[in-house]
Structure 1
Amino acid sequence: MKTLTTLKTTFVVLFFQQISFAQETKKETASPQYTIENCVNHFELDKATKTKVGYQYWFGDKNFTHENTLKMSIVEPGKSTHAPHHHPEEEFFYILEGSASFFLDGKTVVVGPNTSLYCPPNAEHGISNAGNTDLKYLVIKMDLR
């Protein structure tokens, strides 16, 4: 019995040492050097990524912004970027142009420009184009874990 307790204790110590090492390694990973030049990002269509439903443009990805992101999505009429889903990060959508159908935990609402939509962590959510013109919106994802 004493051997089993010793093994459990050793396992716990090693487990926490591994977590501590992983956190230290993450801290040591070089952060980008922030300058006025790379902190200002003007939208350029030729740098946008084409998707099967339109395109997207990353103003800030998680490697640059420490796990937080800012992206603009443009979705063609009647389409969505993906099916309703959930993830541990909270997320905001901000409608710039067009008409969006917003799904959140079983309910749907249609909204227009200058509307923000909040998705709590782990809530099932989705957004699609409910209009007959392109839907343009910002996606702000925050990882607060």
Structure 2
Amino acid sequence: MFVGSVKDIEEIKFVGPGVVNAFKKSLIGPGEGWEGWVMRLITLRDRGCSPRHAHPWPHINYILEGSGVLFIEGKDNTLEAGSIAYVPSNAEHQFASSSDQDLVFICIVPEEGDK
């Protein structure tokens, strides 16, 4: 069992080519007893974005606040609070904030996707 608070979890800045103002908190994963999966809180600040990329694991996403775009399979998809998205394995994708307000979302990936 694990009970905690988001405010007590360290925020880590993503770094790398194509990453802009992107941060994560790994909320629940193997360290908290959920073997094989990780639930993360992703924040894209001030028109931040992930790089356009693909990898061999899926994402499950739920948008908590803000607005933005998910580029996937050659198409831009509008995101807002309450949006949900499934990004399949090996699909080229990119998350981007569309304003100076934070785009905040839950992202669940297999454990290897949180390294």
TM (norm. structure 2) is 0.78
Say if 2:42 is the partner of 1:42.
no
SS, match of residue 87 in structure 1: coil
Other-structure match for 1:71: 40
List structure 1 runs of 4+ shifted beyond 6 angstroms.
none
The answer as to whether partners of 2:9 and 2:27 remain within 8 angstroms in 1 is no
Other-structure match for 2:96: 128
SS, match of residue 47 in structure 1: coil
The answer as to whether partners of 1:110 and 1:130 remain within 8 angstroms in 2 is no
- The separation in 2 between residues aligned to 1:105 and 1:62, in whole angstroms, is 31
Between Structure 1 and Structure 2, how many residues are aligned?
A: 105
Of the structure 1 ranges 63-72 and 110-119, higher mean CA displacement relative to structure 2 is found in 63-72
Gaps of 5+ in 1: 1-35
SS, match of residue 79 in structure 1: strand
Distance 1:69 1:42, change over 3 A: same
- The separation in 2 between residues aligned to 1:77 and 1:49, in whole angstroms, is 16
Larger Rg: 1 or 2? 1
The answer as to whether partners of 2:70 and 2:77 remain within 8 angstroms in 1 is yes
**Larger % of strand: which?**
2
* CA deviations over 1:110-142 (Å, ceiling 9, x no partner): 221011111011111110101231111111113
> Which structure ranks higher in relative contact order (CA pairs < 8 Å, sequence separation ≥ 6)?
2
Gaps of 5+ in 2: 16-20
- The separation in 1 between residues aligned to 2:37 and 2:9, in whole angstroms, is 24
Other-structure match for 1:6: none
- The separation in 1 between residues aligned to 2:8 and 2:35, in whole angstroms, is 25
RMSD: 2.1
Amino acid at match of 2:53: H
Distance 1:105 1:54, change over 3 A: closer
Identity %: 22
Say if 2:102 is the partner of 1:139.
no
